[in-house]
Structure 1
Amino acid sequence: MHANLDRQAAELLESLSPAGGMAECAMEGIRFLRGVDLADFPARGPVMIIGRLHATEAAYAPLRCLVLPSALSVVPPGCAVVSAIQIDIDLKVAAELLVLAGADLPVPAAHHCDQLPVCLGAEQCETLLRLLAALRIPVDAKVLGPGLVRELLYRVLVGPQGGAVHVALAQHRHVCRIGKALRKIHAHYDMPVNVPMLAGEAGMSITAFHSHFKALTMTTPMQYLKSTRLRHAKLMMARDGVSAAYASRMVGYESCSQFSREFKRFFGRSPGREALALKAMLTPVRQQPSPIILESGTV
């Protein structure tokens, strides 16, 4: 079963790879490689490279995974890519996965930046196959791609090369701390939350927390909290049919008028109009039944 999945993934990867060099994927952060020497190829930061990574291997050699924690990582000798997919590692996602897994995720005893490529496990291979299949269809890549990349990162994180992901996080230690604050926001967005509280969750000074948070999310902690509240309120109004006043209270606003002002500033429409637009998108279109053709006429 594993060998069959591996072969299917290899065939899909072969069909998606360019004739030579690098090709950008429609999904940001993913590139396809063919016939390149990784030692001379820019890694662009922490990445996973999965594919046939040795030119001397047989046509159906098992797919291998190599994690490069940073652009300065030394590539093992002999890594001349036949065909491969290169996926940027989102350190915010990696930090969140570590926080969610908690004590259930064993931490490697030693971290090695320059690990050799390792063969994919069955679960890694199955996830890769689904990701490659999604990348063939633009709408699937847009809707399913981010979740599949997240799943694949988790599979790598708990696998033999998880140590290299830990190295990447250690080099960006503040990312893991900010991940704790992000989890706090998403778990308690409806409660009173402030910057000192989030900085304490991250174990950082307020100044350092604010600076690192903005560098990672491109927004301030309170703006991030506000956008999280507004998005949840929008979904509640569209999905559950509640009023703007009720939704504003449920996501932590004390003033409905303030909620309405900030909602319109953020989405460009009033809460009611935006909720109706989203509800229309979420409601499946009902097709008229096809007429039944009988010998005597149409019913």
Structure 2
Amino acid sequence: MQDTAQSTPSLQRQMVDLATPLAPVEGYNLTALRDVRILRSDRPLSRAPVLYDPGIVIVLQGRKRGFLGDEVYLYDAQHYLAVSVPVPFSMETDASAEEPLLAIYLRLDFKVAAELMMKLDECGPVGDAIPRGLMSTPMDEGLAHAVLRFLKVMNSPLESVILGPDVVREIYFRVLTGEQGSSMRAALTRRGHFGKIAKAIRTIHACFDQKLDIGHLADEAGMSPTSFHAHFKAVTSTSPIQYLKTTRLHQARLIMVRSGVTAAVASAQVGYESPSQFSREFKRMFGRGPSEEASRMKHAFARPDPSPHGLYVAAH
């Protein structure tokens, strides 16, 4: 078993000092690497719905808590969060102006992950680990030092471009061989029922603006509607219909923030036929009406660049 990194004040201080200049503004700060952003938040943020791309979140200062069903996922300076399939959950943040939350978000590069998993499989099979869509894991010593090297590299414009991808690859390796790495590897290889549900999730994200027949998705997965519903909920902690609705609402928020369109236009673009129903469901999810929430997001946080997966990582 790998040793858990009980981050010394010196090691954590080094990480924070290196991350601070990389995150000059609140929200997601872009880096020289397309799939890596540095998050900063100067205030505590109350529990709110989010939807993450598959990826890794490494908190350097502050604390986040994710809530999915009855599970609570802590990620702080001692724990990181790994996401293997897009899962809508709620999250809250502990931060202050004196000690802002600082975190690294690495959107998963499936090609790099697949290459590493092939090499790892050559050294031994993954075994019978249960695939999981979301996991919070203690940071071991190997990962902690890889993160420190990564931050040092990212502070050099030349090194970030030339050496950055190699250090990111090492971080992937540390996660895939860490305490819950086998569960993530099993998820990314999409084994058994998890794989069938992962395929349905990909279809929902690719076609959320269309009329999706949940029964058809169940047929494609080779399951009865009842079995499909049960396995879908086991992976995402929500029903297929609710997952589709959540995806549409997150996408609509992104469209309004990024393109400045009205709620009516955004609702139509994500597949709603009734603007009034869209507004009701949007307010129920985000706690604010569409226009108010879009305005808040524009003024409070840096806008992310468009995701190739069509997903939005909320700036919380």
TM-score under structure 2 length normalisation: 0.45
Between Structure 1 and Structure 2, the one with more strand by share is 2
**Whose relative contact order is higher, 1 or 2, with alpha carbons under 8 Å and at least 6 apart?**
2
Greater Cα radius of gyration, structure 1 or 2: 1
Between Structure 1 and Structure 2, the one with more helix by share is 1
